[in-house]
Amino acid sequence: MTVRIGAVELGTGRPRICVPLTGTTVDALAAEAAAVRPEVADLVELRIDRFEEIGSSRAVERAIDAVRAALDPALPILFTCRSAREGGGAALPPALLEAVSSVAAGHGAIAAVDVEMEATGGLARTLAARVHEHDKVVVMSFHDFTSTPPHDEIVDRLARQAELGADVVKLACTPRTAADVLRLLGATAAYAARPDARPAITMAMGPLGAVSRVVGEAFGSVVTFGTVGAASAPGQLDAGRLRDALDLLHEARQQDS
């Protein structure tokens, strides 16, 4: 199965590179967007949870407009309001989270919206449906900043996200040993082999898990996150160097096929 976010197809070829924008003001976000080039990135993630005026729908719209105007037209935007519980900067009540997500879903410049699997107030299914009302892609996510879940739990969580309305499923975890990284990769491959699998994004965070951000093509992870400036999660790699590594591994896989 493949899914398109804008013109970017997920599920074939090498993993796509997503660059997070983490500025706290409209001007900061626009400056970050202007620095991202399609030579190193395939899409960008607008992390609105760090935006100082997140409580204002009009301000959020201005931020989206500014990013779109500064960004290369070839790069689609994934809109994310990451909760503090999952490593972000927002601790929004359900009503405000729903309002912010609705603004993004209805904005013509947004191609996809991140919905947390364990969204405040049990809103995951509701938010996914709202995004789909506007014919946008739902990327559903889960982050574990303390550990790496067991193999079966990783697979089950990804499958559950699809049941809740995800078009693309995502899980990030924290490895404590090399075996944890291997378990994540193995579970990713197991999920990707299912006949009902959606395109999956998985990663092990932190320095120990950096390898998981590079080898996704071999295990079934379709997007990896790279930096042009500030990182949005532990262990993210420079987007330019990441593209070089992904291209090299993809070429090697093509030669062996």
Active site residues: 143, 170
- Identify the CA nearest to 19 among candidates 53, 39, 44, 52: 44
DSSP strand pairing (16-21 vs 223-227): parallel
3-state SS string for 78-129? EEECCEHHHCCCECCCHHHHHHHHHHHHHCCCCCEEEEECCCHHHCHHHHHH
Q: Which helix (H) or strand (E) holds 46?
A: strand 43-47
Question: How many secondary structure helices (H) and strands (E) does the chain include?
Answer: 8, 11
For residue 249, the SS3 value is: helix
Number of Cβ within a 10 Å radius of residue 244: 12
